[in-house]
Structure 1
Amino acid sequence: MAWLPTLIKACYFLAALLFILGLKRMSSPRTAQGGIVWAGVGMLLAVLATFALPDMHNRGLILAAVVIGVAAAWWSGRRVAMTDMPQMVALYNGMGGGAAAAIGAAELFGFSASAVTLLDGGTFTADGAGPDTAQLSLAVLGALIGAVSFSGSLIAFAKLQGWLDRRFVFPGQRAVNMAVLAAAVVIGVMLVTGQLTSPLIVAFFVLALLFGLMMTLPIGGADMPVVISLYNAFTGLAVAFEGFVLQNEAMIIAGTVVGAAGTLLTQLMAKAMNRSLGNVLFGNFGAGGGTAQEIGGSQKPIEAADAAVMMAYAERVVIVPGYGMAVAQAQHKVWEFAQLLIARGVKVKFAIHPVAGRMPGHMNVLLAEAGVPYDLIVDMEDINPEFPTTDVVLVIGANDVVNPLAKTDPTSPIYGMPILDVANARQVIVVKRGKGTGFAGIENALFYADNARMLYGDGQAAAGQLVTELKGVDG
């Protein structure tokens, strides 16, 4: 079967094309579903080709693991609520990093079992040849990055799930974190130079996992979208490095594509918050606190009937969704309300902030699930110039991404973050459960503005009231 290696490589090449084309299609909401299918087919092809490798061992165990993993993913994917999708992404991403770390561990322990470390640092196996420095370096680097992504993603999952407080800090935390990372790097260098002992390998992984935990614990909930993107990039890089160790082209290409996409997304998310990656990892955004700028005025409530009338006779209405809408699962009612407005001749658009929700694209997915046409969903850069000519903005569940303090208060934790300029609209109606603050833990000056009114209540209930009241307004 001399043709088998060629066939396997051809399958890997086709799988790589499907990965890249699938990712390209995921860049647009119109083709994203098809892109996911294409990438999934590519992954299936790569897995089947891998099973055909002549030197594969333990095919039965691997098949059993695949079946268990697919069954668990299918069950959880079918049951997860849209509001819980960000933490599922964090969890699955962590599994990818953990898998890469496990491959690195298997390779390092394998090298350790077959190698003899000499006093001069040379490494030899039983047949006279051992792993070269490049191979060891990639195995160690992939294992380090994968372990950090694994443990860090688990903390991100726990934070999004509400199992952990938003931040965990202590004096000298940065120094301790750097010391843990430095110790892991030192041991990694020792492994690369041939000191492949089991105690050192175990210590290396313990420190790498510990660093992932300690790096993520102090990060606030408002930064989780950026953190998820960063760990996604980490997982991709770890998979690519371990692919080089195993000389598996599919892993190299898939990991590189995921790593590049995650890196670009992380940069875009940080830019959308006007913050550097270092500030995300070591800053205080999401830590809570007040603001030095005095907020005058008071919050002015409005009834659903009055709000419905105000929007019924408006020419232009912009709806700004946030995570509160997702929690209330109000997207279907909001779209029903928007459809009623459109039927009356009102021009309706949905404005999306890049970091609205718990992960990139969260609001877009929710609105698409409710059936909102893509051409009604507008990004921040495009919608901001339109707010001064907008009659009414309906904010439902959004907070920090519409807070004017981001532009006016240099002491605010969100200062400099680009926001949706809803305060420039003629009238603003904010649907909010209570008077609490957003992720950043600060008051929202928009809620006290002269042109803002507060419609208090659960998002779905409030949207339902608006629908009922709008139906009763004379045409």
Structure 2
Amino acid sequence: MIAPTWVQLVYLACAVCFILALKGLSGPKTARAGNLIGAAAAVVAVSIPFFYLELDHVVLILVAIAIGTAIGVFGAQQVQMTQMPQMVALFNGVGGGAAALVALLELDEILGHSRDENWFIYVATAFTIVVGAISFAGSVVTFAKLQELMTSRPVVFAGLPLVFGAALVGAVVLSVLTVTSPALWIGIVLGLLGLAIGLLLVLPVGGADVPIVISLLNAFTGLTVAAGGYVLGNVVLLVAGTLVGAAGTFLTMLMANAMGRSVANILFGALKGGSTLGAGEASDRPVKSAGPSDIAILLGYADRVIVVPGYGLAVAQAQHTLRELVEVMMERGTRVDYAIHPVAGRMPGHMNVLLAEAQVPYEQLLEMDEINGEFKHTDVVLVVGANDVVNPAAKTTPGAPIYGMPILNADEAKQVVFMKRSMRPGFAGIENELLFEPTTTLLFGDAKESLGKLLNAVKSL
């Protein structure tokens, strides 16, 4: 059915709003407005079918919308900052799964009415089914890994490449059959194969690679939504899906570059022993540690300090205390900046959002390329909850699983204060060689509690 002209114009306006929303999300000052614009456009786009289509089961549709809205609002309010990547993975998976189900229903609709459709409709339908199923299954696995419902280590077994290859070949064959000899059962089997491929694709991924795979699966979901938009003749789905697919692909490439590795190596590196997850055992090598009063002296009399935040800061919810400490140091004449690594935390922008929540001025947040040249001129680097992103092994140890990953050059500073709860390795599961440098002093304890003590000690100087 061809939508009326006014509907197409409204959908076009919604598509423009999605583009403006994406543009708004590119900067902290416009992110909130961009998010609101995108949300408003989505509400309008979802509401429009009620005004021009003769829908069946309207009550059931409204009940489903109400249930989804309630779950979404509750989840958004309850989720912690540290759990944001898991929520993104779930939302992404639900989108891919929904696109696959809609494509199956549309295939049944076409076959049931013996409609003579363009062959490309069947191509788009097959693509939506298989890729949407891959995105759903893969996103569920990434959620389970990040939520520690299953091991975050790579899961491999003998013959996995053969099984994965056979599943891919089977999916291609069934996709071709969907075009040449369309049948509902073929679509269902294709969807099941997509689920298997999604599982086999993500299971071998471990360590710091999981957030990158989330971004890749997000791109998959966007492409399935775009293909679904073509199948349904819906321009707003086509544009929105294309935007998500393009943004997700671009983000995946940026994150892979930040890790110093290819996307293929990230996905399949574990099959040949190239994972970003090491043994994960704590070291018994000697380190130098000190209490808050000694660290306060280092910070209180430093002219230049760089703070390196990480996932541990988010876990401890210590961002507000850290901001207070930085403000006290700045009042004493110390120049302080935050060094943000592209993959610090569990997703891109994790640290930016966390610090923005604590009202840290955005001008103090410097990306890796901007700040790396400053470390050699820095008196003290304060590492709070970060680990792998300052590990010199990425530069000096070819056998290390993170070797080749660009890092923050904290090891070049005159002094490094490393705040850690224990000597346990970071997400990559390997020892951080920076901990054992003579210029490094460790402050053990919960980040929020330790920062509170450090704040009081600096104030008393």
Structure 2 length as normaliser, TM-score? 0.95
Q: Distance in 1 between matches of 2:320 and 2:25?
A: 23
Q: Secondary structure at the match of 1:378?
A: strand
Q: Distance in 1 between matches of 2:385 and 2:315?
A: 9
Contact 2:207 2:429 in 1 (8 A): no
Letter paired with 2:394: A
Contact 1:160 1:221 in 2 (8 A): no
1:225: how far off?
1.7
Q: Distance in 2 between matches of 1:302 and 1:224?
A: 34
- 1:119 is aligned to none
Contact 2:394 2:403 in 1 (8 A): yes
Unpaired runs of 5+ in structure 1? 115-124
Q: Distance in 2 between matches of 1:249 and 1:60?
A: 26
Q: Distance in 2 between matches of 1:384 and 1:104?
A: 48
- 1:306-455 aligned at under 5 Å gives the runs 306-455=294-443
Structure 1 residues 72 and 374 mapped into 2: Cα distance closer, same or farther (>3 Å)? same
- 1:122 is aligned to none
- 2:457 is aligned to 469
- 1:69-108 aligned at under 5 Å gives the runs 69-108=68-107
- 1:189 is aligned to 176
1:155: how far off?
0.7
- 1:44-55 aligned at under 5 Å gives the runs 44-55=43-54
Q: Distance in 2 between matches of 1:248 and 1:452?
A: 58
- 1:199-210 aligned at under 5 Å gives the runs 200-210=186-196
1:297: how far off?
7.4
| RMSD (CA atoms) | 1.8
Structure 1 residues 195 and 21 mapped into 2: Cα distance closer, same or farther (>3 Å)? closer
- 2:16 is aligned to 17
Q: Which moved more, 1:60-69 or 1:11-20?
A: 60-69
Contact 2:107 2:184 in 1 (8 A): no
Of 128, 140, 162, 2:126 maps to 140
Q: Which moved more, 1:139-148 or 1:297-306?
A: 297-306
1:286: how far off?
2.8
Of 148, 153, 157, 1:170 maps to 157
Q: Distance in 1 between matches of 2:231 and 2:137?
A: 22
Q: Distance in 1 between matches of 2:26 and 2:424?
A: 35
Contact 1:236 1:257 in 2 (8 A): yes
Q: Distance in 2 between matches of 1:113 and 1:64?
A: 27
Contact 1:406 1:416 in 2 (8 A): yes
Contact 1:326 1:366 in 2 (8 A): yes
Q: Distance in 1 between matches of 2:417 and 2:160?
A: 42
Q: Distance in 2 between matches of 1:215 and 1:170?
A: 13
Q: Distance in 1 between matches of 2:213 and 2:247?
A: 14
- 1:57 is aligned to 56
Contact 2:122 2:179 in 1 (8 A): yes
- 1:117-266 aligned at under 5 Å gives the runs 125=114, 129-166=115-152, 167-198=154-185, 200-266=186-252
Contact 1:145 1:238 in 2 (8 A): yes
1:221: how far off?
2.9
Contact 1:156 1:228 in 2 (8 A): yes
Letter paired with 1:237: L
1:359: how far off?
0.7
Q: Secondary structure at the match of 2:265?
A: helix
Unpaired runs of 5+ in structure 2? none
Q: Distance in 2 between matches of 1:257 and 1:50?
A: 22
Q: Distance in 1 between matches of 2:109 and 2:4?
A: 25
Q: Secondary structure at the match of 1:317?
A: strand
Letter paired with 2:434: L
Contact 1:296 1:448 in 2 (8 A): no
1:55: how far off?
4.8
Q: Distance in 2 between matches of 1:139 and 1:43?
A: 23
Residue by residue, what CA displacement relative to the aligned partner does 1:10-29 show, whole Å, maximum 9, x if unpaired?
11111011100110010011
Q: Distance in 1 between matches of 2:276 and 2:149?
A: 16
- 1:286 is aligned to 276
Letter paired with 1:345: G
Structure 1 residues 248 and 466 mapped into 2: Cα distance closer, same or farther (>3 Å)? same
Q: Distance in 1 between matches of 2:280 and 2:87?
A: 32
Letter paired with 1:132: N
Number of corresponding residues: 454
Residue by residue, what CA displacement relative to the aligned partner does 1:442-470 show, whole Å, maximum 9, x if unpaired?
11110011111111111111111111211
Q: Distance in 2 between matches of 1:356 and 1:459?
A: 16
- 1:117 is aligned to none
Q: Secondary structure at the match of 1:438?
A: coil
Q: Distance in 1 between matches of 2:371 and 2:285?
A: 27
1:296: how far off?
12
Contact 1:396 1:430 in 2 (8 A): yes
1:275: how far off?
0.7
Q: Secondary structure at the match of 1:52?
A: helix
Q: Distance in 2 between matches of 1:4 and 1:36?
A: 27
Structure 1 residues 103 and 290 mapped into 2: Cα distance closer, same or farther (>3 Å)? closer
Contact 2:379 2:415 in 1 (8 A): yes
Q: Are 1:458 and 2:446 matched, yes or no?
A: yes
1:290: how far off?
8.6
Q: Among the aligned pairs, what percent are the same residue?
A: 47
Of 270, 286, 307, 2:256 maps to 270
Of 279, 290, 301, 1:302 maps to 290
